[in-house]
Amino acid sequence: MRSWPAPEISSLPGAGLPLRLYDTAAGEVGETSPDPTARMYVCGITPYDATHIGHANTYLAFDLVNRAWRDAGHRVHYTQNATDVDDPLLERAELTGVDWRVLAEDQIELFRTDMAALRVLPPDDYIGVTEVVAQVAALIGRLKDKGATYEVDGDVYFAVAASPKFGAVSGYSEATMLALFAERGGDPGRPGKRHPLDWLLWRAERPGEPSWPSPFGPGRPGWHVECTSIALSCLGAGFDVSGGGTDLIFPHHEMGASEGHVATGEWPFAKAYVHAGMVALDGEKMSKSRGNLVFVSRLRAAHDPMAIRLTLLAHHYRAGWEWTGDQLTAATGRLDRWRAAAALPGGPDGAAVLALVRERMAADLDAPGALAVVDDWAGRALAGDHADPGAPALVRATVDALLGVAL
Ligand SMILES: Nc1ncnc2c1ncn2[C@@H]1O[C@H](COS(=O)(=O)NC(=O)[C@@H](N)CS)[C@@H](O)[C@H]1O
Ligand SMILES: [Zn+2]
């Protein structure tokens, strides 16, 4: 699938510091040490109810990773999927009387438009599951050849007992796993399974459901294996970052890592598992199932997308937080102040701003800290400190390249 147009990235003098990120599997911040081309897989949307602020918060986090790696001198190979066939999508299509393919296409186009407006750098590979079903089936075949699968009434399951590393990503207890698995699309109680945590790799065709041919009969892929297959085919095992919101830690990223490990024999599947915090509204996680959604496209009708971006940047990417309209008002004020300061004939030392913003972003993406650095510079510039005539241009370039905000 087509991704979206890439925004320009201002060039900056010098280079950024090695990026440090919190790795869920390690339970601590560690230094990413990518090759000259860093490799990142970020789970894409299930295309309905796009693009809500929760989605945007997560994709912005990995946009900051992308920008920090580029500033540190790396190229970035960025892969993202779209789960354009899956139970919740089919249910929504049924509910709204829209053909599921049309719903997916419309929502993916809205997502592209929102991402471009927020100046999120596009992935190099933007792949819909329906484009790669045969490839996914081939991966399931590899898992079958390794003896890691079995069938229940025609559906193909991954046997959790076949994965020596299961649990290494989340570190959750079995009780937590069982609860989250049931909540997030799993079927722990299905009769005929060997273990409650065994998960679906291939769902045999049901009447009225889309299906594709496969060596195990007509049907469609399970959720986790689609991402494993696309990450392996585009990036290869041992890629640098597997990204998503914290609700993907388990079962999605845990089970995907087990599939990748058993299929390739290599560990880790991803060197770091990086997760963005949940955005809430009225005390509840913003989610499709709850319907408490604030949409980027609606906000864009009345607000500068850069103010929306700054609202998100004001929170640390790992912090869960609550969306309130006054935050957007505050961000609009910040954007106006930054733009006024960047339009002045000079300001306080610009090189210091670049160095401090680089240091903040390399420290597990401390965007709030970076915003404070620019706030301080803008405040002093607007108060009449115009010592460095080159500062406004350098600050503008810094804010663009590292924070993605166009002044
Ligand atoms: N309220 C929220 N706050 C932060 N991130 C969220 C929120 N809701 C969803 N996300 C993140 O947005 C991304 C897309 O979510 S999604 O549309 O439900 N799609 C999926 O999770 C799958 N298609 C991944 S393969 C995921 O990384 C998810 O963790
Ligand atoms: Zn995924």
Distance 284 CA to ligand 1 centre (A): 15
Q: Which ligand is nearest to the CA of 50?
A: 1
Annotated binding site: 43-46, 58, 81-83, 223, 227, 245-247, 252, 279
What pLDDT shows up at residue 171?
98
Would you state the torsion angle of the CA atoms of residues 399, 401, 402, 406, taken in this order, to the nearest 10 degrees?
40
Distance 252 CA to ligand 1 centre (A): 11
Q: Is the CB of 85 under 6 A from ligand 1?
A: no
Q: CB of 50 within 8 A of CB of 110?
A: yes
Q: Is the CB of 45 under 6 A from ligand 1?
A: yes
Annotated binding site for L-cysteinyl-5'-AMP: 43-46, 58, 81-83, 223, 245-247, 279
**pLDDT tens-digit series, residues 225-281:** 999 999 999 999 999 999 999 999 999 999 999 999 999 999 999 999 999 999 999
Tell me the residue length of the chain.
Answer: 407
Q: CB of 39 within 8 A of CB of 294?
A: no
CA atoms of 73 and 163, how far apart (whole Å): 37
Instruction: Indicate which residue's Cα is closest to atom 8 of ligand 1.
Output: 54
Q: Is the CB of 130 under 6 A from ligand 1?
A: no
> Please, which pLDDT band fits residue 2 given cuts at 50, 70 and 90?
very high
Q: Is the CB of 19 under 6 A from ligand 1?
A: no
**pLDDT tens-digit series, residues 55-107:** 999 999 999 999 999 999 999 999 999 999 999 999 999 999 999 999 999 99
> Please, which pLDDT band fits residue 282 given cuts at 50, 70 and 90?
confident
Mean local confidence (pLDDT), 16-26 = 98
One-letter identity of residue 206: R
Instruction: Indicate which residue's Cα is closest to atom 7 of ligand 1.
Output: 54
Domains defined for the chain, CATH in brackets: 20-285 (3.40.50.620), 324-403 (1.20.120.640)
pLDDT at 283 over 90: no
By C-alpha distance, which of 373, 319, 362, 272 is closest to 71? 362
**pLDDT tens-digit series, residues 363-379:** 999 999 999 999 999 99
One-letter identity of residue 237: A
Tokens 């970035």: give the residue: 76
> Please, which pLDDT band fits residue 383 given cuts at 50, 70 and 90?
very high
pLDDT at 289 over 90: no
By C-alpha distance, which of 264, 270, 276, 266 is closest to 241? 270
CA atoms of 273 and 83, how far apart (whole Å): 20
Q: Is the CB of 312 under 6 A from ligand 1?
A: no
What pLDDT shows up at residue 216?
94
**Structure-block tokens of residue 309:** 């971006």
Instruction: Indicate which residue's Cα is closest to atom 28 of ligand 1.
Output: 245
Distance 184 CA to ligand 1 centre (A): 12
Best residue for ligand 1 mutational test, from 45, 274, 288 (most atoms within 8 Å of Cβ): 45
What pLDDT shows up at residue 287?
85
Q: Is the CB of 248 under 6 A from ligand 1?
A: yes
Mean pLDDT taken over the chain: 97
